[in-house]
């Protein structure tokens, strides 16, 4: 699973940092009203990052009947979509969602509704017909998309409570503080069985570029700061203990360079770069999230086979290209439609891929 996806999910829920919580209540307001026997098991069992992943229940297409499914709270649900008439083209739409058969009178279902052009969400507490209004379509392309593919409906499988608790588990991971660092270490310990020991000083190595060769590998790990949380989730979903990697390249004059993806340019865009070693190293030393860097030289036998000319050709062809979900996501998805780690599926990934501006917003704060 990709770190970008999780960010997207946070964005799905309108939790872009800086905007604050848009949820109707805070979990701490609710837990005390629950019986103690109930609230502790809820706290202990329901929060894992997986609870944050929306579950695709279906797509509602206008004029094509309704879809029905079983929710987490309401066992009987039905949705249909109608266009509202504008001057010539449909101006917007109304989604009618009927909930029935609640399994308890205190539960609620939380839904995310998405087209590649928008993501919105709503929650339902009572068994009746609810409406969700799309005042207008963003552009003709969105109208065309909805006509053909409809609006995708996702259920948050653990409901409001589970989702909030999951966020509470995840949000501290992004804090650039001891609190954030401890949250990351605790997460890796709990979910990956990782253990950490504090290194003795000195914490800076001195690396002589002459000792580094083309093909040598840099494995980077951050456990705090803006990327710390992403890297923690990345480690968890890939099973690796590095959240980011880069490769060393030497040119014909013997100068050392680093090829790296996800490097921020002056415009704040994430791109692929090949930059001088000194510049890379200086950025690493300046990084206030204290990255841990391992320099892993190639085995001499492998180095002998490493084709530096081909590596440089490839690096030059990629340099300056944007780097984002489209790269990330395909590194862990095997096929277009199948074999996603549950509870992900092609619908969720498809919608996520298009929501990249959300990540940029998040990183700008
Ligand atoms: C419309 O409904 C039919 C039958 O329920 C289904 O086979 C078809 O895929 C639907 N079309 C769209 C565009 O969703
Ligand atoms: C190394 O790569 C270059 C460029 O792709 C190619 O022309 C050359 O034959 C390769 N050398 C070896 C030894 O494979």
Distance from chain centroid for Cα 120? 17
Q: Taking 60 as the threshold, does the pLDDT of residue 7 lie above it?
A: no
Q: Taking 80 as the threshold, does the pLDDT of residue 205 lie above it?
A: yes
Structure tokens at 351: 């919608």
Q: Taking 50 as the threshold, does the pLDDT of residue 327 lie above it?
A: yes
- Residue 46 pLDDT class (50, 70, 90 cuts): very low
CB 100 within 8 A of CB 74: yes
59 CA distance to ligand 1 middle (Å): 9
Residue 347: per-residue pLDDT = 64
Residue 139: per-residue pLDDT = 80
Residue 169: per-residue pLDDT = 59
Structure tokens at 278: 């000194």
CB 306 near ligand 2, within 6 Å: no
Closest by CA to 77, choosing from 27, 36, 33, 111, is 111
| Spatial distance between the Cα atoms of 194 and 11, rounded to a whole number of angstroms | 29
310 CA distance to ligand 2 middle (Å): 6
Q: How does pLDDT run across 112-126, given as a tens digit for each residue?
A: 888 877 777 788 888
Query: What is the mean predicted confidence (pLDDT) over 138-166?
Result: 77
| Spatial distance between the Cα atoms of 83 and 270, rounded to a whole number of angstroms | 38
CB 173 within 8 A of CB 233: yes
CB 307 near ligand 2, within 6 Å: yes
Residue-by-residue DSSP string for 28-75: HHHGGGS-HHHHHHHHHHS--GGGGS-EEEEEE-TTS--EEE--SSEE
User: With the C-alpha atoms ordered 58, 62, 64, 70, is the resulting torsion angle positive or negative?
Assistant: positive
Structure tokens at 303: 């180095």
Q: Taking 80 as the threshold, does the pLDDT of residue 142 lie above it?
A: yes
Rounded (10°) CA dihedral 127, 34, 9, 361: 110
Q: Which of 14-18, 211-215, 240-244 has the lowest mean pLDDT?
A: 14-18
CB 310 near ligand 2, within 6 Å: yes
Average pLDDT of every residue of the chain: 75
Q: Taking 80 as the threshold, does the pLDDT of residue 297 lie above it?
A: yes
152 CA distance to ligand 1 middle (Å): 13
Q: What pTM did the predictor assign? A: 0.53
CB 309 near ligand 2, within 6 Å: yes
Residue 350: per-residue pLDDT = 56
Q: Please give the C-alpha separations between residue 97 and each of 115, 216, 285, in angstroms, as whole numbers.
A: 17, 56, 54
Q: To which H or E segment does residue 317 belong?
A: helix 308-318
Q: Taking 80 as the threshold, does the pLDDT of residue 310 lie above it?
A: yes
Closest ligand to residue 316's CA: 2
Residue nearest (by alpha carbon) to ligand 1 atom 2: 64
Q: Please give the C-alpha separations between residue 238 and each of 82, 230, 243, 323, 331, in angstroms, as whole numbers.
A: 42, 12, 9, 19, 10
Q: Domains along the chain?
A: 50-163 (2.60.40), 180-323 (no CATH)
Query: What is the mean predicted confidence (pLDDT) over 204-231?
Result: 89
- Residue 72 pLDDT class (50, 70, 90 cuts): confident
Q: Taking 50 as the threshold, does the pLDDT of residue 138 lie above it?
A: yes
- What number does the ligand 2 atom closest to the CA of 307 have? 1
Residue nearest (by alpha carbon) to ligand 2 atom 7: 310
Structure tokens at 318: 């990629």
Closest ligand to residue 304's CA: 2
Residue nearest (by alpha carbon) to ligand 1 atom 1: 64
Closest ligand to residue 80's CA: 1
Residue 303: per-residue pLDDT = 96
100 CA distance to ligand 1 middle (Å): 24
For the beta carbon of residue 35, count every other beta carbon within 10 angstroms. Answer: 7
Residue 11: per-residue pLDDT = 40
64 CA distance to ligand 1 middle (Å): 6
Query: What is the mean predicted confidence (pLDDT) over 264-270?
Result: 76
Q: How does pLDDT run across 19-29, given as a tens digit for each residue?
A: 233 333 333 33
- Residue 221 pLDDT class (50, 70, 90 cuts): very high
Would you give the end-to-end CA distance of the chain in angstroms?
24
Q: Taking 80 as the threshold, does the pLDDT of residue 246 lie above it?
A: yes
């Amino acid at each position: 699973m990709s770190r970008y996806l999780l960010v997207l999910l946070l964005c799905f829920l309108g939790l872009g940092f800086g905007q604050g919580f848009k949820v109707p209540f805070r979990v701490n307001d609710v837990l005390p009203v629950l019986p103690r026997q109930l609230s502790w098991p809820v706290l202990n069992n329901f929060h894992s990052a997986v609870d944050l992943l929306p579950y695709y229940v279906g797509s509602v297409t206008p004029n094509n009947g309704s879809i029905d499914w079983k929710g987490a709270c309401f066992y009987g649900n039905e949705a249909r979509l109608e266009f509202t008439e504008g001057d010539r083209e449909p101006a917007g739409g109304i989604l009618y969602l009927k909930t029935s058969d609640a399994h308890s009178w205190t539960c609620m279902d939380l839904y995310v509704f998405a087209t590649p052009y928008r993501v919105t969400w709503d929650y339902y507490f009572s068994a009746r017909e609810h409406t969700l209004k799309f005042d207008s379509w963003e552009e003709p392309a969105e109208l065309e998309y909805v006509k053909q593919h409809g609006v995708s409906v996702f259920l948050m499988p653990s409901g409001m409570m589970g989702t909030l608790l999951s966020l509470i588990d995840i949000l501290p991971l992004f804090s650039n503080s001891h609190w954030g660092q401890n949250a990351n270490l605790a997460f890796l310990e709990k979910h990956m069985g990782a253990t950490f020991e504090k290194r003795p000083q000195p914490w800076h190595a001195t690396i002589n570029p002459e000792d580094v060769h083309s093909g040598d590998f840099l494995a980077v790990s951050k456990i705090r700061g803006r990327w710390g949380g992403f890297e923690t989730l990345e480690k968890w979903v890939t099973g690796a203990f590095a959240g980011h990697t880069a490769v060393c390249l030497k040119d014909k004059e013997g100068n050392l360079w680093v090829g790296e993806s996800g490097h921020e340019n002056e415009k704040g865009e994430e791109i692929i770069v090949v930059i001088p070693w000194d510049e890379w190293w200086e950025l690493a030393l300046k990084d206030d999230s204290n990255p841990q860097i391992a320099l892993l030289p190639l085995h001499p036998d492998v180095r002998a086979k490493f084709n530096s000319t081909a590596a440089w050709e490839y690096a030059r062809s990629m340099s300056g290209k944007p780097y984002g979900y489209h790269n990330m996501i395909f590194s862990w998805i095997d096929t277009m439609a199948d074999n996603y780690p549950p509870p992900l599926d092609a619908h969720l990934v498809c919608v996520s891929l298009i929501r990249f501006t959300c990540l940029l917003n998040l990183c700008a704060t």
